[in-house]
Amino acid sequence: MTLDRERGIELRRGPWAPSLDRITPSLGYTDGNVQIVTVIANLAKSDFTTEHFLKMCFAAVENMQAEAASPQMTKPATDDRAGL
């Protein structure tokens, strides 16, 4: 994934812009406890650990795969504002 410096609506950072994340949130922004991620990943992770964030990502993928395999389920509408 490529990080970009694009500005979004109202001069906010775009979802793929770089963002500084705390690996272990309770330790704060200290040397060895930060990593560069995308803005969208940092917002989704929030104050959770990387392990919790990845668990949520895998669950989302599994859910999408299950929905794609089930013809009776409807897919959610695309929200063009979010770039989905």
Residue 82 placed within a domain:
no
Number of structural domains the chain divides into: 1
Residue 69 placed within a domain:
yes
What is the span of the domain harbouring residue 54?
9-73
pLDDT top residue among 3 and 37: 37
Tens of pLDDT, residues 50-65 = 899 999 999 999 999 9
Tens of pLDDT, residues 16-75 = 999 999 998 899 999 999 999 999 999 999 999 889 999 999 999 999 999 998 876 565
Token pair listed for 15: 């979802």
Residue 59 placed within a domain:
yes
Q: What is the pLDDT of residue 65?
A: 94
Residue 2 placed within a domain:
no
| b/e burial code for range 19-35 (CB count within 10 A of at least 16 → b) | bebbeebeeeeeeeeee
Residue 37 placed within a domain:
yes
Q: What is the pLDDT of residue 5?
A: 61
Give the pTM: 0.61
CB 34 within 8 A of CB 59: no
Residue 39 placed within a domain:
yes
